Amino acid sequence: MLKKERYAAFIEYFSNHMPVAETELMYENPFQLLVAVVLSAQCTDKRVNMHTPAIFRDFPTPQHLASSNFDELFPYIKSISYPNNKTKHLLGLGKKLVEEFNCEVPSTVEELIKLPGVGRKTANVITSVVWNQPNMAVDTHVFRVSKRLGLVNQNAKTPLEVEKDLVKNIPKKHIHIAHHWLILHGRYICLARNPKCLECPITSFCRYFEKNKKIIIDQANASPASKP
């Protein structure tokens, strides 16, 4: 199957079967989403969602973060991965928003990456989720799934390479939601260690399944769970 055909099949399937796809992080405004995405780096959305209600309650605005300090904020974050760095990032982020952005979350990738703790991936998430901009955030799920499906160059080594390939080939109107299609498929079906290929509804255009079909089926037939 040609790459162009894979993209067409990918867009057609998810447009029909997942027309609404959103981040699983809980938030009510751009500032809350920004805080949640910064906290979600190398951490599950589920764990972040456990802690953000208290953070949003007690630090509802950039001004509240800017006027806080490490000892005050750290207890809210200590159970999330890399709490020391993330506490410092949020404090710096609050001050930057107050001092340079009039307490408003900027709407461009170029401005967002000036904020502490905000890299290209986080900036792409914010701009695509809040403003539906055609930006593709590449996390581990997007990186893995897009390569397995055969949507991007198999020799791609960096998230930026994958991002450029996806943005080049996905129609602009679908880019912001395609990010969620890839993430959710990777989170629940195309798992890193044990992809659920026999449950997957898109094996008809998956490069990984094409190459490994016999092995996958033989392993399934040989597993104890498959025997009566």
Q: Residue 52 and residue 70: Cα distance in Å, rounded?
A: 17
Say if CB 162 and CB 147 are below 8 A apart: yes
Whether 197 has a binding-site annotation, put simply, is yes
Q: Hey, how many other C-beta atoms are within 10 angstroms of the C-beta on 154?
A: 8
Say if CB 210 and CB 216 are below 8 A apart: no
Q: Which residues are catalytic?
A: 121, 139
DSSP summary character for residue 82: S
Token reading at 212: 């490994």
Whether 103 has a binding-site annotation, put simply, is no
Q: Residue 38 and residue 108: Cα distance in Å, rounded?
A: 16
Residues annotated as binding site?
190, 197, 200, 206
Residues annotated as binding site for [4Fe-4S] cluster?
190, 197, 200, 206
